[in-house]
Amino acid sequence: MSIYSNDWAAGYAVDIVFVIDTTGSMRPVIDTVKHHAMNLHDDLADVMSHKDKSISALRVRVVAFRDYLHNSSDALRESPFFTLPAQKGEFDHFVRNLSPDGGGDEPESGLEGLAAAIPSPWEKGADKRRHLVVLFTDASAHPIERAASAGLLPPGFPGSFSELYDLWEGGQSGGMEHSAKRLLIYAPDCEPWRGISDLWSNTLHFPSRAGEGLEDFTFAEILNQIASSV
């Protein structure tokens, strides 16, 4: 890019993967995501501009999870990356088809959701790149070993918490550069989330009340924290 161009500026190339618990109690969050999907790019750009940051590129992806141990056939649903704002219609279409349902017992498959999110096809080439995983759940999580030992997980998934930890921490193995990556956890103040925020690098945990669909947070607050983390 020419150094004479006004576009030759150090904006952020941001990839965000929303990992969303789509069990029954999460209706408020899912409705919020649906409501804001079409304007996500402009809303985030506006918040970032107030922090003197600009977006040079924005892509979003969704990993929707429920409970592998309750019903493995609808436990995980993933989208590709959508480039915003160009593909906001496709992003909107995907999230509108998310329906809060099922889940069975209280722990859900949040760790499996993370396992699907971490090796996303992250942007590699742009400068000032940021790779964010933003997880929303109002429940604790099953040990990943349970679904793994039952043969329920897709091929290539980590079979243990230790392997999941390595996937996050292990340099380029998950495709995420160390300083580019951020994990924001909106989840109850319980295990495994408390332990993950304590042990995993580049991770922030925003505790919520269990089972209440993350009503502690407004979309504006979440957007502000995403922008602050970029």
Partner 1 sequence: MKLHQVINGYRIVTKPATTKDQTAFAEKNGRYYFIKMFISPKYPQAGGPGSDAVRQHKLEQCADFEHRNAFLNMHISPTSLGAGNLVLANEIFREGSTYYKVSEVVSPSIHRDVTALNPHQALVVLRTTALSIRLLHQAGFIHGDLKPDNVIVQETRPGVFVGKVIDFDDGYIAGSPPSPVDVIGDTAYYSPELMLYVKESPQVTAADLTTSSDMFSLGLLFHFLLTAQLPDFDREKHKFASVAAINGGLRVSLLKGPLQAWVTRLLDVDYRNRPLIDDLCYFLLETSPQDLAVCLPPAGMIRSSRPSSHAGMAEVNTVPALKGTLKRD
Residues that bind partner 1 (CB under 8 A): 3-4, 6, 8-10, 49-53, 127-129, 160-162, 164-166, 169-171, 177-180, 182, 198-204, 207, 225, 228-229
- Is there a contact between 74 and 61 (Cβ–Cβ < 8 Å)? no
CB of 212 to partner 1, least distance (A): 18
User: Residue 150 or residue 199: which is nearer to partner 1 going by CB?
Assistant: 199
Alpha carbon distance 216, 90 (integer Å): 29
Alpha carbon distance 230, 50 (integer Å): 13
User: Residue 98 or residue 167: which is nearer to partner 1 going by CB?
Assistant: 167
User: Residue 95 or residue 164: which is nearer to partner 1 going by CB?
Assistant: 164
User: Residue 78 or residue 163: which is nearer to partner 1 going by CB?
Assistant: 163
Q: Which residues contact 155 (CB under 8 A, 6 or more apart)?
A: none
User: Residue 39 or residue 160: which is nearer to partner 1 going by CB?
Assistant: 160
CB of 118 to partner 1, least distance (A): 14
CB of 64 to partner 1, least distance (A): 25
CB of 184 to partner 1, least distance (A): 9
- Is there a contact between 223 and 192 (Cβ–Cβ < 8 Å)? no
CB of 4 to partner 1, least distance (A): 6
